[in-house]
Amino acid sequence: MISVQNAGAGLVASLFILVNSVAGQTIEPRKLMGTINEESSWSPDGKTIAFDSIRSGKLNIYTWRIETRELKRITTTEANDFTPEWSPDGKQIAFVSDRTGHNEIFAVDLNGGVPRQVTKDNSDAIHPHWSPDGQRIIYCSARDNPNQTNAPEGEVYEIYTIKPDGTDAKRITQDKGINTYPNYSPDGRQILFRKVLGEKNSEVFVMNGDGSSMRNLTNDPAFDGWPRWSPDGKRIVFGSNRESKTDYEIYVMNADGSSVQRLTNLPGRNTSPKWSPDGKKISFDHAAQGECDIFTVDAPQK
């Protein structure tokens, strides 16, 4: 790891608070850093956030210690490394890299060592997420249709799981569609993901761990995506443009798709929400006017 604690004011900005009122609830999105940062992932202890940033000229993986503001660079490749995901034991981070010439899943030991290649799909493999027991990584891949220009709707992504050592890849979805952003429920029995149904219609779906009983949770003509389970498995957070053609906001709903609640009111594109391990905070990407950074907001408490 390379410490970049003295990154300078241009890279690490002071925290500030934006206060908005949404449906009678006061929320306080908090900006964490001050450069182009995105795709947050909370460490299991909730004290550190991993993210990708283009501050070095290429996308690389960094970690940010929330209390001490310590910033560490995890990967140092001249390729692009992005969308980090902590392992449940906090010892590894899985991520996507194009260092082979196309996107594949890699993992790196945070105690040191060279990132190792997990997938060898020879096609786009993206959106890794660990199973709760750390024994598998779920991801989506275009391996079944490497020539995406000839695919229906322009793309085909199926959901797979694989062991962290790169063995025993198993295909979960079989519908030759666009199935992305998969993640396991806290008990490992269900898989949440995003499915594209049309040019402007993306929905949040859930299925059993073996791909059975697939069902639509959002059922909205807008673009819903980036779903994540709450730590207790009772709620789901996601991003959507259902109230605007241009802006995306963060929403929370029950695990069965009921009681949808809008959480943010920030002009721009608010996506990729992630719950903190204690369920009290939600981080998300906020992009507006050519800039992107990571914000956190208090999660609604029942």
Inform me whether the pLDDT recorded for 253 exceeds 80: yes
Confidence of residue 30 (pLDDT cuts 50, 70, 90): low
Q: What is the pTM of this model?
A: 0.86
Instruction: Identify the CATH number of the domain in which residue 73 sits.
Output: 2.120.10.30
Place of tokens 């050519």: 290
Pairing of the two strands 104-109 and 92-97: antiparallel
pLDDT in tens, 39-79: 999 999 999 999 999 888 889 999 999 999 999 999 998 89
Domain that holds residue 131: 2-298
For β-strands 178-184 and 170-171, DSSP reports them as unpaired
- Average pLDDT of the chain is 86
pLDDT value of residue 246: 83
Total domains in the fold of the chain:
1
Q: Which residue has the higher pLDDT, 7 or 80?
A: 80
In tens, the pLDDT along 134-167 reads: 999 999 999 887 666 555 555 789 999 999 999 9
